[in-house]
Amino acid sequence: MVQHPRLRRILDRRSSRELFDLLADPPKRFRAALVARTLRRLGGRSCSSGERLYLNIGHTGLHSETFRTWVRNSGARPVYFVHDLIPITHPHFCRDGEADIHRERMRTVLATAAGVIGNSQATLDSLAQFAQAEGLGEPSAVAAWLGCTPLSAPRPQVPETDRPTFVALGTIEGRKNHLLLLEIWARLVARLGDQAPRLLIIGQRGWQADRAFELMDRFQGRNSHVVELNDCSDAELARHLATARAVLFPTHAEGFGLPLVEALSLGVPVIASDLPVFREIGQGAPTLLDPADEAGWEAAILDYARPESAARAEQLERTRRFRPFGWASHFRLVEQWLTTLDRAAVVP
């Protein structure tokens, strides 16, 4: 389907092939080509929904009454991919007004969906709780973990530093709770000096993290106890992860958690927040702690920093049993589930 604020059209098979061909091999002036070569030629070629299932994999626009009207009038049977309910469950970590908008999105999902795909069972459980609170029914749903393309394991090499290094991976924002780590590192440096471990923070600076940014800036030039890396290639990321004592993920809320999966896929230990989604996708491998338990996090970090750490060795053993979910498995699960929604429906 092609969507535009003033245009929503279900494309026939020929038009769909033309559009996907253009996306697969885009010209230099893609936007102009899309308008000139595709939309103009597709203007007279559309097809009725015929009760076809319509897959929507993003949240954008779902709060719009225009969208809801189109769904009611089109005859299409929507299947939505729900990524998370964080603006509803943790509104203080989101922009002002985002909670109200997301409530409308989820109301649209619950009121119009033929089915819902969740990136985790934890996300679907949050949706079910919201449905109950709103007095709305729950459509058929399936939890399909996101596929993880494994990072290439780097060649063995001497670590960049002889100090034990921990990695925090992801956008630096309030919800990710980098502040907990930075306050711990401030205490460790004050107490241990040059013997303190190293923290490598990989990610772009985001929002609602002014105090974290302030502490990060203070660490600049101080024997590199805390290093900020805003961007790196997959090869560099794999190398940093492979030399880490553990990946640290003290986030307050997640719909999925790709950094956890990427680290475990490489056989790297993870210390993460004790969240339902991490208990689900971590498959029992990570060490899970309360994201508000600073003392517990500090103790675990110091333990994992020791070469003889029994807790880290035990996690390495558990990690050998971890199995990442590939994209082929994701789509196979989704496709099998789609056929169960309604045998009379025609899947495009």
Q: Are residue 182 and residue 212 in the same domain, yes or no?
A: yes
Q: Are residue 66 and residue 84 in the same domain, yes or no?
A: yes
Residue 103: phi, psi to the nearest 5?
-60, -45
Predicted local confidence at residue 30, as pLDDT = 65
Q: Is 153 part of any domain?
A: no
Q: Are residue 1 and residue 29 in the same domain, yes or no?
A: yes
Q: Is 258 part of any domain?
A: yes
Instruction: Please state the length of the chain.
Output: 348
Q: What span, in angstroms and rounded, lies between the C-alpha atoms of 116 and 22?
A: 29
pTM: 0.86
CB 345 within 8 A of CB 78: no
Q: Is 125 part of any domain?
A: yes
Q: What span, in angstroms and rounded, lies between the C-alpha atoms of 87 and 25?
A: 36
Predicted local confidence at residue 223, as pLDDT = 67
Q: Are residue 172 and residue 279 in the same domain, yes or no?
A: yes
The b/e string for 21-57 (b: 16+ C-beta within 10 A; e otherwise) is eeeeeeeeeeeeebeeebeeebeeeeeebeebbbbbe
Q: Are residue 66 and residue 203 in the same domain, yes or no?
A: no
Predicted local confidence at residue 36, as pLDDT = 63
Q: Are residue 306 and residue 185 in the same domain, yes or no?
A: yes
Two structure tokens written together for 134: 């709103």
Those residues whose C-beta lies under 8 Å from the C-beta of residue 256, and which sit 6 or more positions away, are: 83, 84, 119, 120, 123, 145, 146, 277, 281
Total domains in the fold of the chain: 3
Provide the β-strand partners of residue 8.
3
Name which of 288, 285, 278 is nearest 253 in CA terms. 278
Those residues whose C-beta lies under 8 Å from the C-beta of residue 32, and which sit 6 or more positions away, are: none
Q: In whole angstroms, how far apart are CA 59 and each of 76, 108, 109, 328? A: 18, 10, 9, 23
Q: What span, in angstroms and rounded, lies between the C-alpha atoms of 31 and 17?
A: 18
First vs last C-alpha separation in the chain: 10
Q: Tell me how crowded residue 192 is: count the other CB atoms within 10 A of its CB.
A: 13
The b/e string for 154-172 (b: 16+ C-beta within 10 A; e otherwise) is beeeeeeeebbbbbbbbeb
What residue ranges of the chain have pLDDT lower than 70? 1-12, 28-51, 153-161, 221-223, 342-348
Q: Are residue 20 and residue 102 in the same domain, yes or no?
A: no
E runs forming strands in 13-169: 53-56, 77-82, 115-118, 140-143, 165-169
Name which of 147, 150, 312 is nearest 237 in CA terms. 150
Predicted local confidence at residue 329, as pLDDT = 94
Q: Is 18 part of any domain?
A: yes
Render pLDDT for 84-99 as a digit per residue (tens, 0 to 9): 999 999 999 999 999 9
Predicted local confidence at residue 344, as pLDDT = 41
Q: Are residue 301 and residue 287 in the same domain, yes or no?
A: yes
CB 253 within 8 A of CB 175: yes
Q: What is the CATH number of the domain that holds 234?
A: 3.40.50.2000
Provide the β-strand partners of residue 55.
79
Under DSSP, the state recorded for 193 is G
Two structure tokens written together for 193: 């000096």
CB 298 within 8 A of CB 109: no
Two structure tokens written together for 79: 């299947």
Q: Is 190 part of any domain?
A: yes
Q: Are residue 261 and residue 220 in the same domain, yes or no?
A: yes
Q: What span, in angstroms and rounded, lies between the C-alpha atoms of 112 and 315?
A: 44
- Is residue 342 packed enough to be buried (19+ CB in 10 Å), middle (13-18) or exposed (0-12)? middle
Q: Are residue 194 and residue 234 in the same domain, yes or no?
A: yes
Q: Are residue 299 and residue 245 in the same domain, yes or no?
A: yes
- Positive or negative CA dihedral for 135, 136, 142, 146? negative
Q: Is 80 part of any domain?
A: yes
Q: What single-letter amino acid sits at 328?
A: A
Q: Are residue 275 and residue 195 in the same domain, yes or no?
A: yes
Render pLDDT for 104-161 as a digit per residue (tens, 0 to 9): 999 999 999 999 999 999 999 999 999 999 999 999 999 999 998 878 766 555 455 6
The boundaries of the domain holding residue 218 are 165-319
Q: Is 160 part of any domain?
A: no
H or E segment to which residue 330 belongs: helix 327-341
Predicted local confidence at residue 345, as pLDDT = 44
Q: Is 276 part of any domain?
A: yes
